[in-house]
Every structure is written in C-alpha cells, then in structure tokens.
Amino acid sequence: MSAERMKIGCAGLGRMGKRHALNFLQRTPRAELVAASSPDLTELEWAKEHLAPYGVRLYQNYDEMLQQEGLEAIVVASATAVHAEQAIKAIEADKHVLCEKPLSTNVEVLTRRSPNPSLTLPQKKPHLKVMCGFSRRFDASYRDAYQKMQTGQIGTVSVLRSQTCDKLDPSGFFVAYAQFSGGIFVDCSIHDIDLALWFFGASSKIRSVSAVGNTAVEPDLRKHNDRDNAVGLVEFHDGRIAYFYASRMMAAGQEDSTEIIGTKGKLAVNTQPQQNLVQVYDASGVRKEMPQTYYDRFEYAFVTEANEFTAAVLDDTPLPLELTAAVQAVRIGAALQESMVSGSKIWFDENGNRLQEARL
Amino acid sequence: MSAERMKIGCAGLGRMGKRHALNFLQRTPRAELVAASSPDLTELEWAKEHLAPYGVRLYQNYDEMLQQEGLEAIVVASATAVHAEQAIKAIEADKHVLCEKPLSTNVEVLTRRSPNPSLTLPQKKPHLKVMCGFSRRFDASYRDAYQKMQTGQIGTVSVLRSQTCDKLDPSGFFVAYAQFSGGIFVDCSIHDIDLALWFFGASSKIRSVSAVGNTAVEPDLRKHNDRDNAVGLVEFHDGRIAYFYASRMMAAGQEDSTEIIGTKGKLAVNTQPQQNLVQVYDASGVRKEMPQTYYDRFEYAFVTEANEFTAAVLDDTPLPLELTAAVQAVRIGAALQESMVSGSKIWFDENGNRLQEARL
Amino acid sequence: MSAERMKIGCAGLGRMGKRHALNFLQRTPRAELVAASSPDLTELEWAKEHLAPYGVRLYQNYDEMLQQEGLEAIVVASATAVHAEQAIKAIEADKHVLCEKPLSTNVEVLTRRSPNPSLTLPQKKPHLKVMCGFSRRFDASYRDAYQKMQTGQIGTVSVLRSQTCDKLDPSGFFVAYAQFSGGIFVDCSIHDIDLALWFFGASSKIRSVSAVGNTAVEPDLRKHNDRDNAVGLVEFHDGRIAYFYASRMMAAGQEDSTEIIGTKGKLAVNTQPQQNLVQVYDASGVRKEMPQTYYDRFEYAFVTEANEFTAAVLDDTPLPLELTAAVQAVRIGAALQESMVSGSKIWFDENGNRLQEARL
Amino acid sequence: MSAERMKIGCAGLGRMGKRHALNFLQRTPRAELVAASSPDLTELEWAKEHLAPYGVRLYQNYDEMLQQEGLEAIVVASATAVHAEQAIKAIEADKHVLCEKPLSTNVEVLTRRSPNPSLTLPQKKPHLKVMCGFSRRFDASYRDAYQKMQTGQIGTVSVLRSQTCDKLDPSGFFVAYAQFSGGIFVDCSIHDIDLALWFFGASSKIRSVSAVGNTAVEPDLRKHNDRDNAVGLVEFHDGRIAYFYASRMMAAGQEDSTEIIGTKGKLAVNTQPQQNLVQVYDASGVRKEMPQTYYDRFEYAFVTEANEFTAAVLDDTPLPLELTAAVQAVRIGAALQESMVSGSKIWFDENGNRLQEARL
C-alpha cells in the first residue's frame, strides 16, 4: 500500500455534501479533499471556515471545479435532480465518481433511450470507478448478515422484508421535497430495493410489482403523487419475494430494518433499533432511545464508503457494488411508485420489458 | 357471581380438541366438561383415560352428544371442514357455541347464499352466545396493545403489519393438510386479518387485496393451490393498510408478530420472540429460545378464552368478539388466497361487493 | 392418576393468603379448598364472598380449623412471624404443609436448639409432605435454566449473581414492615440464596459472608437495623461464589434477575425484564413495561407450586425442594443481615459452625 | 480551530501500541504521528511497513525518541510495568502524555512516598496535559448515561454495579501475564472502579473494601496471587456502594456492563451485549453475537480518546478526566486484590488513610 493519496472534489455542500466533504477531509486517510463546489453562497461560507483552512479550493461553479488540475475523483452530493447530470459530466472529464443515491429519479436518464446515457458512458471508460453510494452496503451489520447468508447459515433465501422509515418532520419540509424526490419508493425504499438486489443477486429479474399508500399525516403529498406511508410487493421470476414499507411519520426515530428469510433460518438487521447501548429504567418501563436520522444510524457506513471507494481507485480493485444494480433499483422504485398511484399491478417479462397489458 | 357452572361438551378430540377439553375440565372453574365426542377410536381411548374418570360422557357420534340432557354449550374443535356444520347443528339444538377458527374455508357457507347460513342463524337466536375462537384476542400482550391504542398512545392507527409463521414441519404433513385447510391465507393469516379488523375496527371496509406467494420448501403445495410463503396487501376504503406475511418454513420456531403503526407511535407485539426469560451465553453468542408451536405461544390465551366464553354464557354479558368479524376475516383470507393464485388484484366497493372488472 | 382430590385449608387471608386460597380453589384441579382461617374480620368478610359459596368453611381460629374432619393439608400464608408456629402445629396434627417463605426470621426456631424444632419434627413424620414455598423453584424460566445447567450446557457453575429488587412503595409501608421481616436479606434475598443452594447443590457449605447496605430513600429503616439497598457476598468451601443485591427502591418495577456463570457459558434469567411481549415506540424511544410486583412476575409459578405440592401429597412422590435448604437459606440470610449491620465478615467451618474469631 | 497539528510519538508497538499508533496516524485529523518506539525488533518491522511510509521515525530506544525535535506529546502504550517510568520521563522532557491504564500496578510509584512521584510531577508542570486512558470515559454509551445522570433522570445515584469480563483465552496466556498485571482487580476491574469514581464523583472517599475470588479454570493463577473470577464490594463514606465482578472465563465474548442505580431510576450500559445489529434465527433460537475482545467493544472510544487528548493539547482546554482519579483507582484496585487474597476486609478513614486494625 503506497502512501499516495487520491485527490477528490465534492459537488454540493448541503446536508449530505458537508458530511461527505468532512469524511474525505478527516476520516479517509488515503484521500485528499482538494476541491468543493456549491451554487449556494451560505454553503460556501461554511466551507470557507471548515474546508478552506485545510487547503480545499472552493467553487461556485461545478464545471470550473472539474477543470482543477490534479483532480482525480468527484463525490456527487448535490440535489437529487442534478445527480445524473453532474455524474455524467465528471465521467466525461475522466474522473472517478462516487454518486449519492438515487442516481436519478427518472429511469430514462439512466438508460439507452437517453441522449446522455450514464450507464453506457461508464462502459466506454472502464478505467474509471463509478459507484452509487448505497450506504447500507457499507454498514457492518448488513455486511455481517450478507456474509452469514453467503456461508449458507440460512439456507436458500426466499423472502426479504425491508423498511426505511423516517422520523416525522413536523415542519412539513417533506411535502415540498416530494416535488423533486421521485416519491417515497424512489427516495426511501430505494435502499430496501438495493438490499433485495444485493441479497437475491444482481441478476434477479423482476416479475411484478404492486403497491399501496396512504397519507396519514400529510394529505398535501397527494399533490405531488406521493404518500407518507407506502407498502410495496415485488415478485421475481425465480419466485423470490421482497416486500417493503416506507414511512415518513415515525414517532420514535429512524427505523430502517431488514429481514432476510431463508429455508434454514432468518437474519434480522436492526429489528431492535437503538441509539446506543444504554437502557433507561424509570417509571415508564425499560427504554432504549433510537437514532433520530439515517445519518445517526449509518454514520460509520458513510466513512467506510469513502475509504473503500478511495481504495478501489488507488489500487484499481473492483468496487463493492455495480452500477447496474443502482439503475435496476431506480427502475423498480419508479414502478412501485406508479403502481401505488395508479392502483394497478405492473408486470415484466424475463428480459425486463414491461408488459403493457395486465396478465391474467 | 354464583357458584353455578356451565355444562359444556367438546366436539373433536384431535390436537386442539384435547387441549380445549382439558382446559374446560381443569382450568375453567365456572365450567363443567360433561361430554366429548370424536369419530376417531384412538381419540376416544385417550378420552377414556383422561376425561371419563372425571365424569365426562363420551360419544362417537356428535349428534348423539347434542342430545345429552343438561348440556348447555359446545366447543367445536373438530376438523376445519366440519366446523360450520357442527356449529350450525349446535345452534339449532339451542346450545351456546365456541368454534375454533376458521369458521369455514368457504365464505358461501357463512353467508346468505347458503341454505344453512351460520350467520343468520345466530341472529334468530340472540339468547345464544356464538363465538369464533381467535386466540390472539385473549392474549395478554395483544390486549395490552389494544388498550394502549384505545387510550390514544399511538395517535391514529394507519398501518398494521402482522405475520403468522410456523416452524417447518419436515414430515411434509402440511402438504396433505393444504387440501382441506383453505390455503395459507385462510389457515394462517386469518389471525392477522382478524387483528386488522380488531385494531382498525370491525366496520372497516375492504377496498383491495393483492398477494404473492412461493414454494420455497414444498413445491407439491401447488397441487392444492397453496404456497409455503405468502405476502398479502390489504387496503381499506378509509385508506388504512394492512399487510401480512405467512410462512410454513421457519427454522427457529413459531413467530407470530404484529406492529400497529399510528401517527404518534407504534406498538409492537412479539417482534422479539422468546420461549421464556432465559438467555444462554455460549460460544455462539447470546441466545433466546423460541416457542415451537402456536400453542407454546398462546396456551394461556386459550385458557382465558374458555373462561371468558363461560362467563359470557353464565352472566349473559357480551362476548369479547363478534361473529361478523370472523365471517369478514374468512372473506378477506379467501380473496387473498385467490389473488395469490391468480396474480390479479381484487377490488371491492364500499358495500363489500366485489368489483368484477379490475379498476384502472 | 385417580380422580381423588386433596382437601386443604388455608391459614391466613392477607395479600398472599387470598392468592393461595384462590389458586387452590380454582387453579389446582386435584385439590379441594375446604377451609380457610384468619384472625382478621375484614379478611373473613372477603372470604364469605369469594370462598364460602364454593363450600369452603371459614374460621377465625387457626387451631379450630386444624380439627376439621377430612382436612389433609395446610397452606401457611399468614404473617411471617407465625409461619413456624403454625407449620409446627399442622405437622403435629398430622397434616401436610406448604409454608410460605421464609420459614422463620430466626434460625433458632428452626434448629435443634429450639424446644419445638420444625426441622426435626418432619423427620419424625416422614409420611408428611412439608415444603417451604420458594416460588422461583416453580418458575418455568428458572426451571429451564436449571435443566440446561444439568445437561452441561454451561460447564461447571462457579459464580452466581442474583437480585431481588422491589419497586419503591412510597407509602413507607416497608419501614413498619422491617420490624418483623427479619431484614432485607431474610425477606428479599432469601430467594436468591435459595437459588444459589439450588444451582450449587443443597450440600454446598458456606465459608464466609460479608455485606454492606445503605438507606438511600428511607433512613428510618436503620431503627430496625435494616437498609433499602444491600449487597452481599457469599463464599462456599468449594470456592463457588454467590453475590446478591436487594433493593426496595426500584423506579420501574419488580426486577428479580439471576446469572448462573459456568466455565463454558452463562445462563441469564430475566436480565431483560418485561411485563409482556409489547413494545411501545414513541418520542421517548422503544420501551417495555415491567412487572410491578413479584406476583406479576411469578403468578404462574405459584399455580405450579400449588399443583406440584398437591401431586406430591396424592401420589406420595418426592417434593421438588427439601426443607433443609429452606433452613440453610434462613441461616445465610441472617448472617448476611448481621454482617451488613456490624460491618464484620463472618466465617464458618466446613461443618457449618460459625467461627467466633475472624480468620486472618 | 486552526489547521495546526499536534506532533506525537508512540511508546510501545505491541497489541495496543499498534492501535494507538494507527489511530493517531489515520483517525486523528489534528494530530501527526511523527515517531514510534519499541525495544522489540518484530514490532519495529511491522512499523517499517505500516508507519514509516507516512513519515513516522522509528526508534528502538524510548529515550532517544524523546529527543526528537518538535515532538510535543507521547502516547505511552508499552508494557504495564514501564507505564509509570515512561510517563515520568516524558513529563520531565516536557511532553504532554496520554498513558494507557493502569498508570501503575503499584500505588507507591504514584504517590508522595515514591522518589519519582508521577502525581506530584504533573502538578509542577501545569502547562502539560497528562491523562490516563480509561477508554470507557470516551465511549458514546457511557457518556450518554453520564449525561442522563447529570440531568437528574435517575435521581440520586446510590449503587453502581460494573463488570469487566474477558473471553476465555484457552492458551493460558493470562497465567504468565498475571505475574506483571497487578492482578485481576488492578488489570480488569480498574475500569469499573474508574466508572464508580466518575459516576459517584472524583471526591468520593472509600470506606471499606472486601473481595473474594476463585480459580474456576486456571488454578495456576494462585501462584501469582491471582484468580480468574473475582467479586469486590466497595463502600464509600457517604454510603454509596459499588460492586464489581471480573472474570477471565467468559464463553461468549467480552462482557463489560454497568448499572447505575439511583433513587428515581436506573441506567444500564451494555447489559444486552451485542457485536452489531444482526440477529440470527435458527434451530438454536434467536441469537446475537458478542464482541470478542475489549477492542471490538471500545474501538471508537479509543479514536475519540485520541482526538480529545489532541484537542485538549492544541486548544489548551481541560482534559476530560483528572489524573487523581486514575491514582485513586489503582489504590482501590490494589486494596481489593489484597482483600481477595487475604480474606480480610480493609478499612479506610475519611482522609483516605488505611485503618491498620479491623473496625468492629
């Protein structure tokens, strides 16, 4: 292992952008954060204080940052709407890319029907490392579960249940957010869908999706074709079943849990959520506090992600997850969202083509 | 409270029949088991040893037992296929009835389209107590959860997740059993459906059902239109959602758990299953054992059921659950089973009538 | 198994007396509660309503009850101070005896130095079943732990930690109660001491005891040489160690837990206390409620105790626990109490004789 | 916050030394590891590969390292026997010091009776930051518990139970190790003692200690006056009680847990130990794996320790724990060890002086 370090720039300095920037600055020994960009002046003010003193150059314009000499990689942590565009530009500029999920809210952007297909572009530049940041793939508990499944501890995996449930944000922020997020299945369940593709295998072929949702706390979500509670059912051509629950109204905190159910056992990840190892005994009973946000829950997964992406670039080793899975996840998420809104079950053939007529 | 005791007979002495008979004999102080019937000679042999010494009269013929003088009530614990018929005969003979679930595997038997409608019959004899034995309604944990919901601790209930998962029986018994059970949704999920009707309110109107299933361990189940893993999604006209998982392949034991999700909190029942309060620390980690069967889990609920049914009869007080909910549960279970087999989503209007054409 | 039933009388109808009376009346099929006595008129009023209608004869005078024809057994559930006296009278009247713990608060009453030695008396009447009711011996979880230890799952047991911790009773009742209870080690820890003797073996020989205590909530306990928190350390001649914690100031509920630590594993009983299988998720986190009293926790153990005592009498089979262990438990409890008050460590030789001088 | 970095050297490159070196190299952004020393050639080989490429200078001689220009601080992570000596030399050379626990196995070295008193030395150089590394003080769960106690959530803390229990090392390594470790109370329970001083307050005055131990798996420990299981009881002059369990024979893994018991509640830290958030359901039940070593459990606490020590040095802010507590902890640990070996209870007056005669 050489002492050489990967020079990376961070696109976007919002909530997640700040975290990625600091992780690459302070917690990724083999990386060197050399640049950061944001169109937002307040975010740049923050960066002047927290990044610039360590030699990070700041840009208001993403395209200018891409020109910085010596820059080798970009972490795309901007608004979801520009993920795909910025990732494509970075690839065209011959940079390695770590892109926040989802790649896009629109499958078309990602596939051959698009003029700038992000999927085919990486194929033309196989020397580049391009990864979508599904943080759970880097979480120690999910990895332990995956390794246990791989060694056969639970037999053949047949059913997966997974949920991404956010604590209620009473500010109503998520109504405005829904306009651009792609909807609850693309924004939240995308993680659970990715887990299904990981545990079932990336070659799993979707057969049908159906979904329902309601607006228990925020009826205005319907304006953007969204819901605050949603349950989706996905069937694969080999018979495996995945089912998902997403919610934006949890009272206690972030509750992201998964069960992987096999013919010889079950692996449960975080079905007993907890902030830490403290239990409080008081007049109300025995109590554990919960993580309040997904970053509370997955902070170290993001650090691992930064370090492993860096290692893959420097050592030219395979990335821990393939881009095709990220595209497939967006496709499934968008189909679930459509099924929830239309009420119709959606079918696919074994080649992944959507069947236009309902199968009876 | 008088010292008078209710005289009851037990129809059926199979696995559950024996338990009901002994519960009424030994653990129901206000009841007196005076009769028991079974067409099976081996079962009658058992009864000669365990029931007859305490004054219980035995019958091979159910109809004869119904004639026994002084008999006031019948617990129907025979094969599922004869539940409805025996219950109807008992009502006709003017006996109170506690009937094991499901009332029937066939909705028609239970409704006005049938020549001997079990539903209308009780309405003609309002002095009789007729109850379907959904054991979870009598379980201390479910009751505590219900009471907490009623006092508003979790706000408005919007989503219910529930599962009934049996330990794998490697003898393959359940393949033969599937022929008569009505299928996994009618046999297993019926409990979860009943919970949804309980927690959402008996007047909840079903809007749509969709379901998928697979045969992960026993492909022969397909011969009887059944599956060993099934996930069902039920939407109600008021927007509430219930989703169910049933399985016959659990490795660790019986795993019946439920989450009731409201706008201000969540109640989880048995999402950390355990046989008792022992934990074993050894080289494999820290471990709790699980109940192996539903009776391990619900033994005391059955005792409570026997005692409360007896009290309702003796004191002429309302039964803890209404017969209409039991009929509605069979209807939903049968629709889920059909949806799983056909692949089609099934819709209902607000009057409970099935919509013949898929709604788009 | 014959249908014959054991005729039993209940001495004392206070809090525990009522429970024992009802358990023998309603939940012990092979027993028949035929008599009950209490010097307290309010308690007798209660009995007129709840026991008399079922044929139970009531007495204000214990001695008179002993004369009732056909009476075969007595459950002594009166005030601790008269436990020994009433048990001895019952034995003299040739009755089987189930006596609430502790046998006595005074070791002398129980041993050969006493004029009416309860210990030697039973030895003269070996046809009688005389048992001290240590409820934990009948609890399903403790039995499971014991059976696992017996089958070698944790190797050689070397250390036992156990605690009996009551919820704070803010009425200050326990200050008055301390006057007669024998102190926190005799009243509370007696259960834990009995567990040590059970899991280590009844022949375990005590080597030393030392204890400390404090009065965190109720300084007045010092008037009666008692404390509200106490920790005791017991060493046996074979090197095994038991240590105990007792408290009367728990905020959340009754917390009686035990760890049995062996060379190949550990068994933990109730180190995650819970009232039932419900978890509440709300703004405060994830919460289980706790049993509020020891009867909440051990209700079914008392029912099992009644049934097993009855079976031992009717079938003339060995009792599940020996009287000598109960006497030994009182001896250890009294020594711990003395050590806590004096501050001195107390030593015993291998014959159980106390060493008068501190060993150096 | 300036971008300036603290230059630190690491003394010792054994198991813990390697971890401290890597933590300061890679996970402490404001520190720069510039030197490392070890008398062991194998350890230096490791350092040539893992530290030297990043500019770390290596030394076989500790004293030479102390001369390196620009060196500002030392982390002492060598063998316990030289902790005190190396710490004192560093202080004399005007370096800030982070010293692994225990400061010493011998109280004399640390106090005024010693020719080179480590305690008085720092007092003469108040500009230096000298800290003993009690890792639990930096653990997120312990800190959360402490903060909850501080805000009054559990009333007045009266009793503390804490244990440090290592997984059995079947190599017998710990027999040889016992010769130099100071014994199980100084080596293991020192952490629990430090917790008692933290939660009870550093000014808590010890009143008495008593302890017992056994050798359940390794009788040879007695040669070095040590045991493999030990229970200690500590009483403070204000009435508070702390009791400790230490063991070297756990089957399942590292089990370090603590309960802080107050008049209005209890805080439990790690009484449900777990390696991560995965549960395995299989034929043996439901299982969590456990951390195998204390580093598995406390890895992130060590990283926090390195970062906070660095911040205190650079920003001249108070250290999170005072050196006097570390000395007091060694004193209590040594007294417990002596009490365990001699069998005698040991008393102290309010000034911390040992009472030579047993108090009666």
How does pLDDT run across A139-180, given as a tens digit for each residue?
999 999 999 999 999 999 999 999 999 999 988 888 888 888
pLDDT digits (tens, 9 = 90+) for B264-318: 999 999 999 999 999 999 999 999 999 999 999 999 999 999 999 999 999 999 9
| C-alpha span between C326 and A218 (Å, rounded) | 63
CB–CB of D276 and A144 under 8 A? Answer: yes
Residue in chain C nearest D360 by alpha carbon: C344
Q: Taking a C-beta distance cutoff of 8 angstroms, is the pair C129, C248 a contact?
A: no
CA distance B279 to chain D (A): 9
> In angstroms, what CA-CA distances link B150 with A99, A167, B147, B158, B260?
46, 23, 5, 14, 12
pLDDT confidence of D51, banded at 50, 70, 90? Answer: very high
pLDDT by residue, tens only, chain A of 360 residues: 456 899 999 999 999 999 999 999 999 999 999 999 999 999 999 999 999 999 999 999 999 999 999 999 999 999 988 999 999 999 999 999 999 988 887 766 665 555 555 566 777 888 999 999 999 999 999 999 999 999 999 999 999 999 999 999 988 888 888 888 889 999 999 999 999 999 999 889 999 999 999 999 999 999 999 999 999 999 999 999 999 999 999 999 999 999 999 999 999 999 999 999 999 999 999 999 999 999 999 999 999 999 999 999 999 999 988 888 898 999 999 999 999 999 999 999 999 899 975 544
Q: If phi over 0 gives left and psi between -120 and 50 gives alpha, with beta otherwise, what is residue A67? A: alpha
Q: Among candidates B257, B267, B165, B150, which has minimal Cα distance to B217?
A: B165
- State ipTM: 0.94
Chain B neighbors of C267, CB-CB under 8 A: 278-281
CATH topology of domain D139-298+328-355: Dihydrodipicolinate Reductase; domain 2 (3.30.360)
For chains A and C, count residue pairs whose Cβ atoms are closer than 8 Å: 60
* Residue found under tokens 């005055």: D205
User: Helix, strand, coil shares of chain A as percentages rounded to 5?
Assistant: 40, 25, 35
Rounded CA gap, C201 and C220, in Å?
Answer: 37
Q: How far is A113 from chain B (nearest CA, A)?
A: 27
pLDDT confidence of residue C111 = 59
Q: What is the pLDDT of residue A129?
A: 96
Instruction: Please name the member of C272, C283, C290 whose beta carbon is closest to the beta carbon of A251.
Output: C283
Is domain C6-128 annotated with CATH 3.40.50.720? yes
Residue A9: which residues within 8 A CB-CB, separation 6 or more? A33, A34, A35, A36, A37, A65, A66, A68, A71, A73, A74, A75
Window 231-270 of C, Cβ < 8 Å to A: 250-253, 255
| Arithmetic mean of pLDDT, D286-312 | 97
Any idea which architecture C142-299+328-355 has in CATH?
Answer: 2-Layer Sandwich (3.30)
**Interface residue of A22, A26, A272, A277 to substitute, partner D, most D CBs within 10 Å:** A277
Q: Do C278 and B54 touch (CB under 8 A)?
A: no
Residues of B in contact with D251 (CB under 8 A): 281-283
Please give the sequence-ordered ranges of beta strands (E in DSSP) within chain D, or none if there are none: 6-11, 31-37, 57-59, 73-76, 96-100, 130-133, 157-167, 206-214, 229-236, 241-250, 255-262, 265-269, 278-282, 285-288, 346-348, 354-355
Torsion of CA C133, C138, C139, C144, to 10 degrees: 140
pLDDT at position C190 over 80 = yes
Q: Is C290 in the A-facing interface, judged by CB distances under 8 Å?
A: yes
Name the residue type at position D122. Answer: P
Comparing CA positions, the residue from A338, A304, A303 lying closest to residue A105 is A338
Assess whether pLDDT exceeds 50 at residue C78. yes
Interface test with B, best of C146, C149, C277 (most B CBs within 10 A): C277
pLDDT band at D360 (very low <50, low <70, confident <90, very high): very low
Task: Return d(Cα A44, Cα C71) in angstroms, integer.
Answer: 91
> Taking CB atoms and an 8 Å limit, are D278 and A153 in contact across chains?
no
Contact B268 C279 (CB under 8 A): yes
Instruction: Calculate the average pLDDT of chain B.
Output: 93
Note whether C281 contacts A: Cβ–Cβ < 8 A: yes
D153, A282: Cβ pair inside 8 Å? yes
Of the candidates B156, B247, B266, the beta carbon closest to that of A216 is on: B156
Task: Quote the pLDDT of residue A120.
Answer: 67
Within chain D, all domains assigned CATH 3.30.360.10 are found at: 139-298+328-355
Inter-chain touch B27–C29, beta carbons under 8 Å: yes
Is pLDDT of D325 > 90? no
Residues of chain C contacting residue B279, judged by C-beta atoms under 8 Å apart: 267-269, 271-272
Is the CB of residue B358 less than 8 Å away from at least one CB of chain D?
no
Residues D2, A148: C-beta atoms closer than 8 Å:
no
Locate the DSSP E strands across chain B: 6-11, 31-37, 57-59, 73-76, 96-100, 130-133, 157-167, 206-214, 229-236, 241-250, 255-262, 265-269, 278-282, 285-288, 346-348, 354-355
> Where in the sequence of chain B do the CATH 3.30.360.10 domains occur?
140-299+328-355
**Does A290 lie at the interface with C, CB-CB under 8 angstroms?**
yes
A106: its two tokens: 């629109």
Written as six digits, the tokens of A207 are 């057969």
| Nearest-by-Cβ selection for C277 from B141, B266, B281 | B141
CB C102 within 8 Å of CB C333: yes
Cβ contact B53–C2 (<8 Å): yes
Q: Are residues D264 and C243, on separate chains, in Cβ contact within 8 Å? A: no
Residues 32-61 on B with a CB inside 8 Å of C are: 53-54
Q: Coil, strand or helix: which one is C294?
A: helix
pLDDT at site C202: 86
DSSP assignment letter at C60? S
CA distances from D343 to B27, C338, D209 (A): 54, 18, 11
The tens digit of pLDDT for each residue in C85-128 reads 999 999 999 999 999 988 887 766 665 555 555 566 777 888 99
Question: Which of A10, A16, A83, A71 lies closest to A301 in space, CA to CA?
Answer: A16
Cβ atoms of residues B181 and B80 within 8 Å: yes
Give D285's contacts in chain A (Cβ within 8 Å). Answer: none
Angle at CA of residue B323, ends B320 and B329, nearest 5°: 105
Contact of B118 with chain C, judged by CB distance below 8 Å, is answered with no
Query: Rg of chain B's alpha carbons, rounded to an integer?
Result: 21
A286: nearest CB among C252, C281, C283 = C252
The answer to whether residue C232 scores a pLDDT higher than 80 is yes
Q: Cα–Cα distances in Å, from C350 out to A63, C194, C236, C339?
A: 87, 19, 9, 19
Domain B140-299+328-355 falls under CATH 3.30.300.180: no
Task: Provide DSSP, A35-66.
Answer: EEE-S-HHHHHHHHHHTGGGT-EEES-HHHHH
Q: How many CB atoms lie under 10 A from the CB of residue A15? A: 11
pLDDT of residue B360 exceeding 50, the answer is: no
In single-letter form, the type of residue at position D354 comes to: R
Model confidence at B114: pLDDT above 60: no
Chain A partners within 8 Å of C271 (Cβ): none
Q: Which chains touch D (3 or more CB pairs under 8 A)?
A: A, B, C
Return d(Cα C227, Cα C185) in angstroms, integer. Answer: 9
Picking from B281, B283, B287, the nearest residue to D285 by CB comes out as B287
Residues D332, D209 contacting (CB under 8 angstroms): yes
Q: In this structure, are residues B192 and B162 in contact, taking their beta carbons and an 8 Å threshold?
A: yes
- For the stretch C199-213, pLDDT in tens is 999 889 999 999 999
Q: Which residues of D touch A283 (CB under 8 A)?
A: 265
B285 contact residues in D (CB cutoff 8 A): 252-253, 275, 280, 287-290
How far is Cα D159 from Cα D139, in angstroms, rounded to an integer?
21
Query: What distance in Å separates residue A157's CA from the closest CA in chain C?
Result: 28
Does B215 reach chain A within 8 Å, measured CB to CB? yes
Percent pLDDT > 70 in chain C is 94
Among D102, D93, D103, smallest CA distance to D73 is for D93
Query: Shortest CB distance from B241 goes to which of A214, A235, A344?
Result: A214
CA distance D197 to D244: 13
pLDDT-derived band at D110 (thresholds 50, 70, 90) equals low
What are the DSSP calls for A202-243, one per residue? TT--EEEEEEEEE-SS-GGGGGGT--SEEEEEEEETTS-EEE
Contact B245 A243 (CB under 8 A): yes
Q: How many CB pairs under 8 A join A and B?
A: 116
The 10s digit of each residue's pLDDT in B1-52 is 556 899 999 999 999 999 999 999 999 999 999 999 999 999 999 999 999 9
CATH 3.40.50.720 domain span(s) along chain A: 6-128
Nearest to D284 by CA among B280, B298, A332: B280
- pLDDT category at C357 given cuts 50, 70, 90 is low
CA distances from residue B147 to A39, A68, A251, A286, B152 in whole angstroms, order as listed: 53, 64, 19, 19, 9
Task: Check whether B108 has a pLDDT greater than 90.
Answer: no
Instruction: Give the residue range(s) of CATH 3.30.360.10 domains in chain C.
Output: 142-299+328-355
